[in-house]
Every structure is written in structure tokens, then in C-alpha cells.
């Protein structure tokens, strides 16, 4: 069913439009970049990160450029800022299921879960 993500800016109460995201495949400590993208006006990618046919079982990492996003929004962050990039490591066991990885984020906190 593919892989998707969605980011909500909990500080401003809106989608995190313009946030940079990178997708990696991982094997142990090694990470291989698959793609970089920027989230659209709805805080989502324009297309799935993987469609139904290309998602493979394995481990992955999504890295969200949180500090750059909030700085671009004009938020005054301390140096060093509390959150710079948020990396989420996750596994895909069932390629016949949809994996949705949402991120709810502010400059000081984040949460995630496996969505549908």
C-alpha cells in the first residue's frame, strides 16, 4: 500500500509547508539516501514516498529539517537550538499494508505514530 508522511506544526497550528525531508534505507548503522523532498502546502509529499509496488520490507529513516523550517517561519531559536533535525527510524514488515509516518512538531517537542 506504500509509504507516506505528513507533518503538522503544533506551534502555529498548521501543516509544515516547506519543510525539507530526507528518506533513507538503513542497515544497522549505515543509511543510504533514497530521496530528498520538500513538503507541500498541506505538509505532505506530492506523491507517496513509495508506491505499492516499490515498497520493500526493511528498515528506513525519515529525517525532518525542523530547525530550518522554524527559522524560515521567523521563530527566534536559541543557539544551539533544542531540535535541529528529527530522525525517525522505523521498520516495514508487511508491504501489503500502508505505512503512514506522521510527525507533530514544535521547536521544543515532537511525537509520531504509525498512522493509516
Confirm if 4 and 101 have CB atoms less than 8 A apart. Answer: yes
Given a cut of 90, whether residue 1 has pLDDT beyond it is no
Tens of pLDDT, residues 21-36: 999 999 999 999 999 9
pLDDT score of 55 more than 90: yes
pLDDT at 96 > cutoff 80: yes
SS3 state of residue 69: helix
Q: What is the mean pLDDT of the chain?
A: 96
pLDDT digits (tens, 9 = 90+) for 56-79: 999 999 999 999 999 999 999 999
On whether the CB atoms of residues 43 and 7 are closer than 8 A, the answer is yes
Question: What's residue 52's pLDDT?
Answer: 85
Q: Quick one: average pLDDT of 41-46?
A: 98
Q: What is the mean pLDDT of the segment spanning 100-116?
A: 96
Model pTM score: 0.96
50 class by beta-carbon count within 10 Å (0-12 exposed, 13-18 middle, 19+ buried): buried
Is the pLDDT at 88 greater than 90, yes or no? yes
Amino acid at each position: 500500500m506504500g509509504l507516506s508522511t505528513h507533518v503538522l506544526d503544533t506551534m502555529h497550528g498548521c501543516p509544515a509547508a516547506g519543510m525539507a525531508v530526507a528518506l533513507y534505507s538503513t542497515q544497522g548503522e549505515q543509511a543510504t539516501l533514497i530521496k530528498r523532498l520538500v513538503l507541500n502546502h498541506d505538509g505532505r509529499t506530492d506523491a507517496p514516498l513509495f508506491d505499492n509496488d516499490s515498497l520493500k520490507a526493511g528498515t528506513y529513516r525519515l529525517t525532518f529539517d525542523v530547525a530550518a523550517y522554524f527559522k524560515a517561519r521567523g521563530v527566534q531559536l536559541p543557539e544551539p537550538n533544542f531540535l535541529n533535525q528529527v530522525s525517525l527510524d522505523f521498520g516495514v514488515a508487511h508491504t501489503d499494508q500502508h505505512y503512514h509516518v506522521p510527525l507533530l512538531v514544535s521547536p521544543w517537542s515532537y511525537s509520531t505514530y504509525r498512522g493509516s
